[in-house]
Structure 1
Amino acid sequence: MTDYDAYYDDRHDGHDGAPAGEADRTDREHGMTRRQLMRHAGWFGGAVALTVAGGEVISQIAGSRGSTAEAAAGAAAAGSGTLRFVQVSDSHIGFQGPANMDVAGSFTEAVDQVNTLGFRPDFVMHSGDLTHLSTAGQFDQVKQMMSGLKTDRVFTVPGEHDSIGDAGRAYRRTFGTGTLGDGWYSFDTHGVHFIALVNTLSLEKLGHLGNDQIDFVRKDLAGLPSDTPVVVFSHIPLFAMYPKWGWSTDDALKVIALLRRFSSVTCLNGHVHQLFTKTEGNITFHSATTTAYPLPKPGRAPAPTPQVVPARQLKDALGIRSVGYRQGDRELAVKDQRLA
């Protein structure tokens, strides 16, 4: 049994007769308590809104309603110097199949959610698999759809579905302006440094960055003070979420080593179509949900193929995630719940 399988082991679901404290201690051996597992258990949703304020990162699924305390925290975060942005992922425009008969419609709904958050995001990041088959028509369609986002800037990174047959050239013609190499880049805003990586072009099994891109990261980080908050975007996870399914990046540890000197690092990815959070020291990894179709939890199916759920349950599976993070803390305060 892998560590990931242990996170979802039914022996720790609170029904095995063990006291809650004992169950938590058992799960903690695998890096996650049962209560944390329950907070991480959402698996399908829309856009994820993230706020960075005073060293704290807070996220939630767009279109949700929080508690009075959460609303007050959000209002406080709206002050001067606050950064708020939105992550969407895995829209798979062009997909046709029973898992979602209208991916364009669900992505339009995600765009509408972003536009009704109650604030104007500083930017929106799409973390890959914008399209399903990387055709020119699909890239044009998703670009036009994202033009409806009420934000000043839209950023993207490519997924493997955006690189089919041409090593990402069609993607870069549409979305690669101002990028380096095969589409990587960085930028700064509100005192936060952002890096957008491409790990989907050399896929034999796992994601891969390559020496040129790792050298870019080394030079990019060299002049930054260690107390600079750093956020890294990629499509495939930069941690070994489930290598058997390709949910990992084979040379990511070389980048992680460069990031360890920073006091606050957040890595945001797509690809896995489900919410998952992992913390290693000062680095927190968040896997995003999707606007297209769910994928199975690792080890619960022979392969990561689109999962068909009853149509009436697709929107019921949308969820809310609130994440609190303060510089220097080793743990996240995470809450996930459905929007039913």
Structure 2
Amino acid sequence: MGNNDGDGINRRHALECMIWAGTGVLWTVAGGVPKSLSLLDDVEAAEAAKSGFTFLQISDSHVGFNKPANPHAIETLKEAIGRIDALPEKPAFLLHTGDITHSAKPVEFDDANEIIGSTRVNVHYVPGEHDITDQATENAYLERYGKGVKGGGWYSFDQHGVHFIGLNNVVNLKKFGLGFLGDEQLKWLEDDLRALSSSTPIVVFAHIPLWSIYPNWGWGTDDAAVALGYLKRFGSVTILNGHIHQLMQKVEGDVTFHTARSTAFPQPAPGEALSPGPMVVPADKLRGMLGLTSVTFKKNKSPLAIIDTSLAD
């Protein structure tokens, strides 16, 4: 089996479909294959909101961060929330995929709640590793955001015919900081999915990606294969994550994996630095590497549109 098959390389490239930080892009997913339509503008945003039910993802706000990569992270979070307030059609809800805070301090959570809560849009949270640093902060997180959740903070809900699943993969991290779900959560996930029809659209959201992007940096989840095994019978699965602070997308069969930008600071592309962490970029480039994600679902139709908007757009 040689590696000089051009078509094979192209197919693998299409399958990987990794997108680095840039301006907002409208994605439509048909038959499990994402297609870039155009750069987002206000007219497209309004039409997308009217054509189906829309929700937003925000991630890695890191309230409390004030290092050189972005000394004003709380201000860029406010900018992102301002974008939501300015939308012509309000989203059904907001998903926050973790690292709400930078060091799990009560005052950081208070500031985040005040800013994010100003949208008056319902918010569904999952924790990041900066939100749960030990047993005490895990308990504090669950006191704030744990109403109605199972175990260590996992839960599901249904809206507009879509089944949403929030997972916690930031406790008991494995080698290099790889995410971990654990047997209790995986058993709950299997039970949660059992009664659903295979035609039910599924959206899973968690902090650390459920696919192996760069394990040496902890950019993956140790036992994700078990969870993905439970999901493989469904015809439409979208998995939304944060943690890596940049846009990357991958399609495997009927599963689309999509990571979001941070609202606080960028991180380097996998392997392009000695380690992950806040990346200093020129001030005039920073907002182009921060942003939020909008998803539009059209009932009884494929496609599902994923729109990534940077703060510079």
Question: What is the CA-CA distance between 1:76 and the residue it aligns to?
Answer: 6.4
Q: How does 1:25-44 map to 2 (within 5 A)?
A: 25=7, 27-28=9-10, 30-32=12-14, 40-42=19-21
Aligned partners of 2:54, 2:295: CA distance in 1, in Å?
Answer: 13
- Quote the residue 2:114 is aligned against: 144
Question: What is the CA-CA distance between 1:165 and the residue it aligns to?
Answer: 2.7
Decide which of 278, 287, 305 is 2:259's aligned counterpart.
287
- Quote the residue 2:58 is aligned against: 88
Change (3 A) 1:184 1:158: same
2:250–2:257: 8 Å Cα contact kept in structure 1?
yes
1:264–1:328: 8 Å Cα contact kept in structure 2?
no
Aligned partners of 1:83, 1:253: CA distance in 2, in Å?
Answer: 30
Question: What is the CA-CA distance between 1:129 and the residue it aligns to?
Answer: 0.2
Q: Secondary structure at the match of 1:113?
A: helix
The CA deviation string for residues 277-308 of structure 1, in whole angstroms up to 9 with x for no partner, is 00000100001110000000001001002101
1:163 pairs with 2:142: no
- Quote the residue 1:18 is aligned against: none
Q: How does 1:193-204 map to 2 (within 5 A)?
A: 193-204=163-174
Structure 2 letter corresponding to 1:106: T
Structure 2 letter corresponding to 1:32: A
Identity percentage of aligned residues: 42
Aligned partners of 1:141, 1:265: CA distance in 2, in Å?
Answer: 33
Q: How does 1:113-128 map to 2 (within 5 A)?
A: 113-128=83-98
The CA deviation string for residues 245-265 of structure 1, in whole angstroms up to 9 with x for no partner, is 001101111110010110000
Q: Which runs of 5+ in 1 are unaligned?
A: 1-21
Decide which of 172, 184, 193 is 1:221's aligned counterpart.
193
Structure 1 letter corresponding to 2:100: L
The CA deviation string for residues 36-87 of structure 1, in whole angstroms up to 9 with x for no partner, is 55xx222698xx99999xx999999xxx84286x45xx526515xx321010
1:245–1:303: 8 Å Cα contact kept in structure 2?
yes
1:128–1:235: 8 Å Cα contact kept in structure 2?
yes
Q: Secondary structure at the match of 2:251?
A: strand
Structure 2 letter corresponding to 1:154: V
Does 110-119 or 271-280 show the bigger shift? 110-119
- Quote the residue 2:227 is aligned against: 255
Question: If the length of structure 1 is used for normalisation, what is the TM-score?
Answer: 0.78
Aligned partners of 2:12, 2:34: CA distance in 1, in Å?
Answer: 25
Structure 2 letter corresponding to 1:161: H
Change (3 A) 1:135 1:335: closer
Aligned partners of 1:56, 1:29: CA distance in 2, in Å?
Answer: 11
CA-based RMSD of the aligned residues comes to: 3.7
Change (3 A) 1:59 1:265: farther
Change (3 A) 1:264 1:128: same
Decide which of 59, 69, 72 is 1:99's aligned counterpart.
69
Structure 2 letter corresponding to 1:159: G
Question: What is the CA-CA distance between 1:30 and the residue it aligns to?
Answer: 3.8
Q: Secondary structure at the match of 2:150?
A: coil
- Quote the residue 2:282 is aligned against: 310
1:270–1:289: 8 Å Cα contact kept in structure 2?
yes
Decide which of 275, 278, 298 is 2:250's aligned counterpart.
278
2:260–2:293: 8 Å Cα contact kept in structure 1?
no
Decide which of 99, 106, 121 is 1:129's aligned counterpart.
99
1:235–1:270: 8 Å Cα contact kept in structure 2?
yes
Change (3 A) 1:28 1:316: same
- Quote the residue 1:154 is aligned against: 123
Structure 2 letter corresponding to 1:28: N
